[in-house]
Amino acid sequence: MAVQSWIDILKSSKKTALIHDGKRKVHYLFTDGKEMSEEYDLKTDELIVRKWRLKNTLGGQGQWQAEVGEHLAGPVTSLDSDGLRENCSNPVFMRKDTKTSFQWRIRNLSYPKEVFSVSVEPTERCIIIKTSNKKYYKKFSVPDLDRSQLPLDSSALSFTHANNTLIVSYKKPNEILTLERELLKELKKLKGTCDGDVDCKTQ
Amino acid sequence: MATTKVPEVRDITRIERIGAHSHIRGLGLDDALEPRQVSQGLVGQLASRRAAGIILEMIKDGHIAGRAVLIAGQPGTGKTAIAMGIAQSLGPDTPFTALAGSEIFSLEMSKTEALSQAFRKAIGVRIKEETEIIEGEVVEIQIDRPATGTGAKAGKLTLKTTEMETIYDLGNKMIDSLSKEKVQAGDVITIDKATGKISKLGRSFTRARDYDAMGAQTQFVQCPEGELQKRKEVVHTVSLHEIDVINSRTQGFLALFSGDTGEIKSEVREQINAKVCEWREEGKAEIIPGVLFIDEVHVLDIECFSFLNRALESDLSPVVIMATNRGITRIRGTNYTSPHGIPIDLLDRLLIIATSPYTEKETRQILKIRCEEEDVELSEEAHTVLTRIGMETSLRYAIQLISTAGLVCRKRKGTEVQVEDIKRVYSLFLDEARSSQYMKEYQDSFLFNETQTPAMDTS
């Protein structure tokens, strides 16, 4: 039922599709003013980027927040205007899904695999990465499961470590798999204009 | 660990310039709203100050919207001073917008738009917003200064919680504020990501040693847990006008090119009013009606007055204080005359506070206060002379003479302004009456006076 409601929200949103650079780009505008933008690989149909833009409390437009894929390299701001910036040697957290599982990659973590422990916190609906040397800690939720109100299952979780990168995978439940198949079918029906500038109806 | 000696960051104290009303710090009332003769920079005008005090209480309660007050009186009787006093007593949390009547006449914007913007600037909304903060214990601060002493500094800050550690690169501004706050390794600090504001929470327990020398006010706190970056709710006040501006900006990349907002559509305003009312009902926001002060209100014209009539009836309207020094005069934009140059129907909605001319004693007091404000020492006789000048010409002229006489006194290396100094500046600078007198006498020798002579008979 909950899975259904998310599909309905998606269906009721205004969508614009565009095929560019070997990617199918879709822009959604929801009735509550939220915007979502997705990019799929044309060949493999894999989700490459999903980002969100919300209105802030006073009605102004916020920044795009990446849910899947790398953070946008926005206009390069100087350190002086920001005042403070994370050093580039710090771990970088990003999500990159595969067909069958949600996957998170944390680069710049040069500690051995034994240091890490990854666990599910079902009450808080989040996954926690801990390090025994107290260097890295991350608590994050799985928005896809939250939207469909599916429970988190610790048996679906696994992690590996290689090339200074920690990879955490969570097997997609069947409900999510069917939802994604249905959505993709729906998106393929949208006639995506090929290349060139198009007027974005939803913006 | 050897710490390099960090040179003290010079505190940038703002140099306050002295303005006409910078000596006013409040209305000078006691708890029972009784005015004290001389207090907080205000002297005399007891009745009008008491009246202003009652208005002030009304504003502070915040329940009454759309009332208007008119302060009327001769020039130089403290109308603006009373308004400033109200502004000072309201404190920084209540919005106070001051504008002169002439400010609404602009070619870019209609008069009513300028007035509505002023109205909406005077209404505050207290609202909760989420911001990102960084909270952690300082492990290490490393600041590299260029050997030449000038140029960009570079720095690194390592922060940790019980679970993790992160290194940050620091910009120049952040380095300055860190050294200003005297942040050291072992301090627990929070940094507001949006504003860059640093606040010290205390020292970490793990750094507590038995024989450390530290002040009595040093607090020990636990090292924060979990992630370094947290989301936190903060309450802040914005004006309705600011919300209008945020929502009326052109969306998308065009927003970069649209500098000023110009006129704001009435639909946007209606939407925002509805939204704010919704927030208030949900308990998310609180409305703070403020004060709109319109000085020289007689320069407004009949269209503005009729707009005011209407605008005062809205329930999202601030308390409007107007000031004028006119008697019965023509209403601008019409051929009718009316008291204060304000139509009777608007006057009917106003509470009128009258100010009266100052007595000699009061003038003396005011001059004394101004001397202190402008840092000029006055001898007793000079003070008496100046008071006489103030009574016979105008208070403003007498106040102008204070700093000029002070300068003359300093030139002759004196410490206290004497009667001679006053005499000297009195002869150097004309007051309004003497200037008019001079005009009348030498009218004929001024330029363009020839047109006044009867035209030559050419027929």
Name which of B258, B304, B366, B391 is nearest B116 in CA terms.
B304
Listing DSSP states for B266-326 in one string gives HHHHHHHHHHHHHHHHHTSEEEEE-EEEEESGGGSBHHHHHHHHHHTTSTT--EEEEEE--
- Edge-to-edge strand list for the sheet holding A126-131: A116-121, A126-131, A137-140
Tokens representing A98 are 């595969």
CB contact under 8 A, B252 and A83: no
Lowest mean pLDDT across B111-125, B241-255, B360-374, B397-411: B241-255
Is B448 domain-assigned?
no
Question: Do B142 and B82 have their domain in common?
Answer: no
Q: Looking at residue B399, which CATH number applies to its domain?
A: 1.10.8.60
CB contact under 8 A, B156 and A87: yes
Q: Looking at residue B311, which CATH number applies to its domain?
A: 3.40.50.300
Q: Do residues B238 and B124 touch, judged by C-beta distance below 8 A?
A: yes
Nearest to B168 among A59, A84, A203 (CB): A84
- CA B334, CA B345: separation in Å to the nearest integer? 15
State residue A195's pLDDT score: 46
State residue A192's pLDDT score: 60
Is A86 domain-assigned?
no
Lowest mean pLDDT across B53-57, B242-246, B452-456: B452-456
Is B190 domain-assigned?
yes
The three-class DSSP label of residue A45 is coil
Is A109 domain-assigned?
yes
Q: Is A79 an interface residue toward B (CB < 8 Å)?
A: yes
CB contact under 8 A, A130 and B242: no
pLDDT per position as a tens digit, B134-143 = 999 999 999 8
Q: Looking at residue A152, which CATH number applies to its domain?
A: 2.60.40.790
- CA B125, CA B316: separation in Å to the nearest integer? 11
Is A159 domain-assigned?
yes
Is B387 domain-assigned?
yes
CB contact under 8 A, A139 and B243: no
Q: Among residues B338, B357, B376, which one ends one of the domains?
A: B357
Question: Do B90 and B71 have their domain in common?
Answer: yes
- CA A58, CA B191: separation in Å to the nearest integer? 23
Question: Do B325 and B394 have their domain in common?
Answer: no
Is B453 domain-assigned?
no
Number of domains in chain B: 3
- Taking the CA of residue B61 and the nearest CA in chain A, the distance in Å comes to 26
Q: Which of B131, B160, B163 to mutate to test the interface with A (most CBs of A within 10 A)?
A: B163
Q: Identify the band that residue B458 occupies on the pLDDT scale cut at 50, 70 and 90.
A: low
What is the residue range of A23's domain? 2-70+91-193
Is B218 domain-assigned?
yes
- Max CA pair span of chain B: 111
Is A23 domain-assigned?
yes
CB contact under 8 A, B129 and A56: yes
Q: Among residues B210, B234, B258, which one ends one of the domains?
A: B234
As a whole number, the mean pLDDT across chain B is 83
- Contacting residues for B62 by C-beta, under 8 A, at least 6 apart: B287, B288, B289
Is B391 domain-assigned?
yes
- Taking the CA of residue B148 and the nearest CA in chain A, the distance in Å comes to 20
Residues of A in contact with B156 (CB under 8 A): 87
Query: Tokens 């249905």 — which residue?
Result: A182
- CA B261, CA B258: separation in Å to the nearest integer? 7
Q: How far is CA B170 from the centre of its chain?
A: 34
pLDDT per position as a tens digit, B391-416 = 988 888 998 899 899 999 989 888 88
Is A188 domain-assigned?
yes
- Taking the CA of residue A178 and the nearest CA in chain B, the distance in Å comes to 34
Q: Write the secondary structure of B9-67 as one string of H (helix), E (strand) and C (coil).
A: CCCCCCCCCCCCCCCCCCCCECCCCCECCEECCEECCHHHHHHHHHHHHHHHHCCCCCC
Question: Do B69 and B136 have their domain in common?
Answer: no
State residue B385's pLDDT score: 92
Residues 113-142 (A) with a CB less than 8 A from some CB of B: 130-131, 134-139
Question: Do B136 and B214 have their domain in common?
Answer: yes
pLDDT per position as a tens digit, B311-338 = 888 878 888 999 999 889 999 989 999 9
Question: Do B365 and B352 have their domain in common?
Answer: no
Taking phi first (over 0 means left), then psi (-120 to 50 degrees means alpha), and beta for anything else, what does residue B424 get? alpha
pLDDT: which is higher, B16 or B292? B292
Listing DSSP states for B322-384 in one string gives EEE---EEEPBTSS-EEETT--HHHHTTEEEEE--PPPHHHHHHHHHHHHHHTT--B-HHHHH
Query: Which residues are paired to B38 by β-bridges?
Result: B43
Question: Do B368 and B335 have their domain in common?
Answer: no
Q: Is A151 an interface residue toward B (CB < 8 Å)?
A: no
Q: Is A158 an interface residue toward B (CB < 8 Å)?
A: no
Question: Do B397 and B427 have their domain in common?
Answer: yes
State residue B252's pLDDT score: 45
B243-266: average pLDDT: 65
CB contact under 8 A, A86 and B157: no
Question: Is residue B81 predicted with pLDDT exceeding 70?
Answer: yes
Q: Do residues A68 and A49 touch, judged by C-beta distance below 8 A?
A: yes
Question: Do B430 and B392 have their domain in common?
Answer: yes
Is B241 domain-assigned?
no
Nearest to B170 among A84, A90, A131 (CB): A84
The share of chain B scoring above pLDDT 70, in percent, equals 89
Nearest to A90 among B157, B166, B193 (CB): B166
- CA B386, CA B402: separation in Å to the nearest integer? 8
pLDDT per position as a tens digit, B7-18 = 444 444 555 677
Query: Tokens 């469909």 — which residue?
Result: A148
Residue ranges, chain A, pLDDT below 70: 1-3, 59-61, 71-82, 191-203
CB atoms closer than 10 angstroms to residue B257: 7
State residue A79's pLDDT score: 60
Is A84 domain-assigned?
no
H/E element holding A107?
strand A101-107
Helices (H), chain A: 2-12, 79-82, 143-148, 174-189
Question: Do B132 and B230 have their domain in common?
Answer: yes
Is A200 domain-assigned?
no
State residue B6's pLDDT score: 46
H/E element holding B438?
helix B432-442
The share of chain B scoring above pLDDT 90, in percent, equals 15
Residues of A in contact with B242 (CB under 8 A): 58
Question: Do B308 and B394 have their domain in common?
Answer: no
What is the residue range of B84's domain? 20-94+290-357
CB atoms closer than 10 angstroms to residue A196: 7
Q: Is A86 an interface residue toward B (CB < 8 Å)?
A: yes
Query: Which residues are paired to B136 by β-bridges?
Result: B189
- CA A61, CA B189: separation in Å to the nearest integer? 30
Nearest residue of A to residue B162 by CA position? Answer: A134
Question: Is residue B188 predicted with pLDDT exceeding 60?
Answer: yes
- CA B129, CA A95: separation in Å to the nearest integer? 27
Is A189 domain-assigned?
yes
Query: Which residues are paired to A151 by β-bridges?
Result: none
pTM > 0.95: no
Number of domains in chain A: 1
Q: Looking at residue B211, which CATH number applies to its domain?
A: 2.40.50.360
State residue B450's pLDDT score: 64
Name which of B308, B397, B320, B403 is nearest B112 in CA terms.
B308
B156-165: average pLDDT: 90
Size of interface A-B (CB pairs under 8 A): 85
Question: Do B137 and B206 have their domain in common?
Answer: yes
Exposed / middle / buried, residue B46 (Cβ in 10 Å: 0-12, 13-18, 19+): middle
Q: Do residues B329 and B340 touch, judged by C-beta distance below 8 A?
A: yes
